[in-house]
Structure 1
Amino acid sequence: MIPPNQHRFGIDHPVVSVRNHPEAVEKYVRLGFSPSPISYHPWGSVLTVMMFENNFIELIGIDDPRKFGTGEVDGFCYGRTLGEFLARSEGLGLVSLHSKDIEADFAAVRAAGLPVQQRVDFRRKVTAPDGSPDEAVVSLGMVMDPELGDVSNFLCQQHRPEFIWRKDWQSHPNGATAVEEVVYVASDPTPLEARWSKLFGADNTNRVEGHIEANTGCGRLVALTPEQAEAHFGSVGLPVSYTSKPHGIALQVRVRDLKVVKQLLSENGVVHAETARGIAVTPAAAGNTVIEFAE
């Protein structure tokens, strides 16, 4: 199944990186998600996804660091990069942008004047919908900005999307249907505004009520000042931060009914609080990431 309302550079999947993957999966179950079966990357990482119709959350950790270097391209290995991130922090890191033509889209990013690095192609073992073993075939294009650090992206094309965009993975007890926003905090959001204008176009990147917002066509990227972040998420607290650079702090997830979410979180003993737009859980409940549920 190809996501019906996805297109070039839409939010494909934010990556939440955790040190204890089994524990984090259990936490996401308590939040009301139905994680996909556990899977593994060839470079030593372990993952599961919270799949929606057009995008998803990837929850990733380290399975076997001895595999770092597998599939290395020009010195880059995603597993090693993940290990370096987890050595200093947990939480929201890179955000993947959707591609249906990795070569053309990577060239377009380069032509827009953004720094680009390696192209990575890999396969990972999956179980097909009929229960037979098979392989997902994936192409990545790294679009990393050294000055922005973890507020970077990579393009992702699924060559066999039927193994990823599975309808049977899209039903969640909390009624979640989409990643609506990825939220960053930045003392100076101007570099993010410049980057997003090149990626998504100046018409889709705007200052809204004092913050920067980029419409990707499949969800929004939002940059808040520290004061704005505290004002909005102060009721649950902000993630532990190990950098003064811009970094991700929250995901807004669209749900069908906030009353269902509130009851589920209460029954599961998950600390939560109301925000101006919905209900948020503490960073400790979701891998050092605030998750805000909104209708």
Structure 2
Amino acid sequence: MTETMPAGPHSLDHLVLPTASLDVARARLVSLGFVVAPTGIHPFGTENCCVFLEDSTYLEPLAVGNAQAAAKAIADGNVFVARDRAYRDERGNEGFSALVLGTENANADHMRYVEAGLSAGDMLSFSRVFADTAGKSDTASFKLAFASGAGAKDAFLFACERINAPKVDRTALQIHPNGATGIIEVVAVSEKPSEQHRLISIAARSPTAGQGSTAFGLPNATLTLLDPVAFEARFGIPAGAPSELRFAGVVFSVRHADTVAKLLAASSVEHDMRGNDIVVRPAPGQGAAFIFREIA
């Protein structure tokens, strides 16, 4: 029997962006106007350098810091590391592999995923040290439940329960020169979008707005699922190799679009204007199309 939990869709928590090098990711994100947190070390061979936003979402650039520890974790059944390896084997070391949903009960989510035939494997509980810009550190603890469609190696979703939130001040990490305040939309691409509706609806507990709809409403963002033609028409960027499901774009809310444009120009970052959006194509250390949109 499934455990009870609050009704309604899960919120967007964070996005996982595989990269070959955290140094490259840090340099790229700084050139885009983001403040990047100190490196965080996982106990299973991976490491990150996160970008935290005012709306409590964040980006997690992820690299393999200890290949031996990562290989052992995979052998021990660590789904997070195994899916990271599968993504890199399929797509290379740069990209956008996972959308993470906030939950108050990862156990209940895992049971839902198992009952729906969408579980990607065993749950994962772990802790790591988190440090702020002043050097103060505390321990962050998490419990994860994983969901994935059959045969899909390019993307997965997981629910993340924060067991222990670190008692550190993130304010300085959330104020970015580009004026980014949050993530308002995540864009995924599929050769057959309708076949991915069930996975996303169950993982996020969010049905589409209606028959034929491509939008899944989360409390703090929208997850949009497009076919390759629609993706290229909207952003002016090729969708890339065919895929059952691949996360491809992140839309950020910013205070002033002209601030972003000037910053990108000063950093020699190529960008395009698409209506009210500033579009930056994927690059090493970035992993996905970044779209900046001024929100009044």
Equivalents in 2 of 1:117, 1:17: separation in Å? 20
**SS of aligned partner of 1:279:** strand
Does structure 2 retain, via aligned residues, the 8 Å contact 1:240–1:288? no
Distance 1:200-1:220 versus aligned 2 partners, 3 A rule: same
Deviation at 1:290, TM superposition (A): 0.5
1:188-234 superposed Cα distances (whole Å, 9 cap, x missing partner):
101222223334456x41369x7611011121111111111111121
Tell me which residue corresponds to 2:280.
Answer: 281
Q: Name which of 102, 110, 126 aligns with 2:130.
A: 126
Residue number in structure 2 paired with 1:259: 258
Cα separation, 2, equivalents of 1:57 and 1:27 = 13
Q: One-letter code of the match for 1:205?
A: T
- Partner-residue secondary structure (3-state), 1:283: coil
The size of the alignment, in residue pairs, is 284
Matches within 5 A, 1:174-213: 174-200=178-204, 204-206=207-209, 212-213=214-215
**How many Å separate the matches in 2 of 1:280 and 1:164?**
33
Q: What is aligned with 1:4?
A: none
Alignment of structure 1 residues 90-105 onto 2, 5 Å: 90-105=94-109
- Partner of 2:36: helix, strand, or coil? coil
> 1:277–1:206: structure 2 CA closer, same or farther, 3 Å change rule?
farther
Q: Distance in 1 between matches of 2:132 and 2:260?
A: 31
Q: Distance in 2 between matches of 1:65 and 1:276?
A: 44
**Given the alignment, which residue of 62, 73, 91 partners 1:60?**
62
Matched, 1:138 2:142: yes
SS across alignment from 1:284:
coil
Q: What is the aligned partner in structure 2 of residue 106 from structure 1? A: 110
> Residue by residue, what CA displacement relative to the aligned partner does 1:3-46 show, whole Å, maximum 9, x if unpaired?
xxxx8621111111111221111000000000111111111111
Contact between 2:214 and 2:224, CA under 8 Å: does it hold in 1? yes
Q: Do residues 170 (structure 1) and 174 (structure 2) align? A: yes
Quick check: 1:73–1:118 contact (8 Å CA) kept in 2? Answer: no
Partner of 1:247: 246
The letter of the residue matching 1:228 is A
Please list the CA deviations of residues 227-272 of structure 1 after superposition, one character each: whole Å capped at 9, or x if unmatched: 11111121xx34654x532211111111111111111111111000
Check if 1:230 corresponds to 2:221.
no
Aligned amino acid, residue 292 of structure 1: I
Aligned residue number for residue 22 of structure 1:
23
- TM-score normalised according to structure 2 size: 0.85
Contact 1:113–1:198 at 8 Å: present in 2 too? no
Deviation at 1:103, TM superposition (A): 2.0
Q: Matches of 2:164 and 2:129 in 1, distance apart?
A: 12
1:251 and 1:143 map into 2 onto residues whose CA distance is 21
Find 2:153's aligned residue among 142, 149, 154.
Answer: 149
2: CA distance, partners of 1:253 / 1:116: 29
* Deviation of the 1:75 alpha carbon: 2.3
Whichever residue aligns with residue 107 of structure 1, its letter is M
Cα offset, 1:110, TM superposition: 4.2
Change in 2 beyond 3 A, CA 1:76/1:167: same
Compared with structure 1, are the counterparts of its residues 205 and 258 closer, same or farther at alpha carbon in structure 2 (3 Å cutoff)?
same
Report the counterpart of residue 272 of structure 1 in structure 2. Answer: 271
Unaligned runs of 5+ in 1: 1-6
Cα deviation for residue 78 of structure 1 reads 2.4
Percent identity of equivalent pairs: 25
Q: CA deviation at 1:92?
A: 0.9
**Contact preservation (8 Å) 1:73, 1:119:** no
Q: Per-residue deviation at 1:129? A: 7.8
